[in-house]
Amino acid sequence: MRKTMKTERLHVTEDAYVTASEKFVAKRGHQAMRHLIKDKLQQGDDMRPFYIANLDDIVNKHKHWVKLMPRVKPFYAVKCNNTEPVVKTIAALGAGFDCASSAEFQQVLKYGVETDRIIYAQTCKDPEEIKHASERGVDLMTFDNEDELVKIKHLYPHARLVLRILPQVQKAVLKMGKKFGCAIKNCKGLLLKAKELELNVVGISFHVGSSCLDAFAYEHTISLCRGIFDMAKTIGYNFNLLDIGGGFPGFETEEKLSLSEIAKAINNSLEKYFPEGENVKVIAEPGRYYVQSAFTLAVRVIARRVERPDSYHDDPSDRDDAQKTFMYYLNDGLHGSFYVHIVFEKHAPDFYLLENKDSMPVFQSSLWGPTCNPFDCITQEIELPELDIGDWLYVPNMGAYTTVLLSSFNGIPTPKIHWIA
Ligand code: PLP
């Protein structure tokens, strides 16, 4: 695992590190977050890890999106964070939803979301789930292969279908092309098959990969979509839906591609290839954009091991303290909130100390999860001041693909969520 954090990241002044979209932390600084966490700690004796989840951040993200891309209606990807307050807030804001299963569309339907605000964006569906979609009238769904078309023909022949294509430019932290998306060269054959089956294909979707690193990926794929819209016309399809998927940043730093840069590229491409008069509805499926910065995780050091280059039996007075390194065991890890970071992103998020230890020397350290799994390691390399058992750290930007993946492996309790707004 890469080196993820330098001590100076820990000790930056209040607003130097945080970003525009992280409204709570950015506006009121780490000081406020520290107060909040301390407040929660004083309120109870439950020593589990916990999240501070700020619903205002989600509202602000939505407003920011609408301002930057008024033509692109967001369909929030429920898989990213399906906690009830999050989904209800986004429903109340009037956004649509990208659902990956019947459990997800039943959840949003329960909150009063109409079926025309749902896309069942899963190209390889369980036939049982297609039946549920048909029963509930969730008729807009994606496909990328012939077998799926045959299944849909039998189970939901009147569904409105969206062909998911494989973008040719995939510069993202998590690429999706191996599992999903019809290669451009195969689109015509697939659409001909759909026509032969008398299915109703209404548009195209794509996903450039999660945490996109290059706005050109959207630009290029939108231009490809234009070609497929035109080709589809020759087959007899008059598409009216373009779904530009997810991949938008969950929080912003100076190094990362910002939503405004992406929006600029998307708006220009839409103007060029899908001018407004054409009446093509444009939607997107943002997941991490909506929720990542809204959640801050607080974790506790539950154990530690001090490693020294000198032998254990050496005279303690001879030990060279500057050489020691620390292994810290936290009460959350691979089987909890850090699954995506450890398994997919191979990069730990930034950690901050609840109590400032600015003036203290720093040591090479590593952070481990609480389970017996030897791979439960959050980062092998981090510079930290000496921490004690019982010390708390916090981690901003933990709202995406975290709560949805929590397990209680080894009987370890999962984090609580404290909601603020
Ligand atoms: N749409 C689909 C089909 C996805 O599979 C995903 C994520 O896996 C998303 C949207 C959300 O992506 P992101 O969180 O990168 O915005």
Ligand 1: nearest atom to the Cα of 212: 15
pLDDT at 95: 98
Quick one: fold of 7-54+292-420? Answer: Lyase, Ornithine Decarboxylase; Chain A, domain 1 (2.40.37)
Probe target for ligand 1 pocket from 69, 79, 262, with the most ligand atoms within 8 Å of CB: 79
Residue with tokens 């491409």: 269
3-state SS, residue 189:
helix
Q: What are phi and psi of 261, to 5 degrees?
A: -65, -40
Strand partners, 143: 163
Probe target for ligand 1 pocket from 285, 288, 401, 403, with the most ligand atoms within 8 Å of CB: 285
Burial readout 210-243 (b: 16 or more C-beta within 10 A, e: otherwise): bbbbbbebbbbbbebbbebbeebeeeebebebbb
What average pLDDT does this structure show over 52-67? 97
Question: 288: CA distance to ligand 1 center in Å?
Answer: 8
What average pLDDT does this structure show over 263-274? 98
Question: 353: CA distance to ligand 1 center in Å?
Answer: 31
- Rounded-to-integer distance, Cα 251 and Cα 185, Å: 35
What residue ranges in 231-351 does DSSP mark as E strands?
241-243, 281-284, 295-307, 325-330
pLDDT at 41 over 50: yes
Ligand 1: nearest atom to the Cα of 80: 14
Ligand 1: nearest atom to the Cα of 164: 3
Burial readout 82-95 (b: 16 or more C-beta within 10 A, e: otherwise): bbeebbbbbbebeb
Cβ contact 74:97 at 8 Å: no
- Rounded-to-integer distance, Cα 288 and Cα 249, Å: 7
Question: 44: CA distance to ligand 1 center in Å?
Answer: 36
Long-range contacts, stretch 111-119, CB < 8 angstroms, 24+ apart:
111/87, 115/139, 116/140, 117/75, 118/75, 119/75, 119/162, 119/205, 119/243, 119/283, 119/285
pLDDT at 264 over 80: yes
pLDDT for 99-134, tens place per residue? 999 999 999 999 999 999 999 999 999 999 999 999
Question: 179: CA distance to ligand 1 center in Å?
Answer: 13
3-state SS, residue 401:
coil
pLDDT at 20: 36
- Rounded-to-integer distance, Cα 58 and Cα 293, Å: 8
- Rounded-to-integer distance, Cα 294 and Cα 396, Å: 8
- Rounded-to-integer distance, Cα 101 and Cα 109, Å: 12
- Rounded-to-integer distance, Cα 256 and Cα 213, Å: 7
- Rounded-to-integer distance, Cα 109 and Cα 32, Å: 36
Question: Which residues surround ligand 1 with Cβ inside 6 Å?
Answer: 77, 79-80, 98, 121, 207, 210, 245-248, 285-289
Ligand 1: nearest atom to the Cα of 122: 3
Q: Which of 124, 182, 372, 377 is catalytic?
A: 372
Ligand 1: nearest atom to the Cα of 205: 3
What does pTM read for this prediction? 0.92
| ipTM of the prediction | 0.99
Probe target for ligand 1 pocket from 98, 119, 141, with the most ligand atoms within 8 Å of CB: 98
Question: 275: CA distance to ligand 1 center in Å?
Answer: 26
SS (H, E, C) 57-99: HHHHHHHHHHHHCCCEEEEEEHHHCCCHHHHHHHHHCCCEEEE
Question: 320: CA distance to ligand 1 center in Å?
Answer: 50
Residue-averaged pLDDT of the chain: 90
Residue with tokens 């398994």: 343
What average pLDDT does this structure show over 363-387? 97
Which residue's CA is the nearest one to ligand 1's atom 14? 287
Burial readout 293-314 (b: 16 or more C-beta within 10 A, e: otherwise): bbbbbbbbbbebeeeeeeeeee
Strand partners, 364: 383
**Distance between first and last Cα of the chain:** 36
Continuous H helices in 197-237: 216-235
Question: 231: CA distance to ligand 1 center in Å?
Answer: 27
- Annotation marks residue 372 as catalytic: yes
pLDDT for 152-199, tens place per residue? 999 999 999 999 999 987 777 888 878 899 999 999 999 999 999 999
Which residue's CA is the nearest one to ligand 1's atom 12? 246
pLDDT for 66-108, tens place per residue? 999 999 999 999 999 999 999 999 999 999 999 999 999 999 9
What average pLDDT does this structure show over 358-378? 95
Q: Six-digit token pair at 145?
A: 């292969």
Strand partners, 365: 326, 382
The highest-level CATH class for domain 82-286 is alpha beta
Ligand 1: nearest atom to the Cα of 246: 16
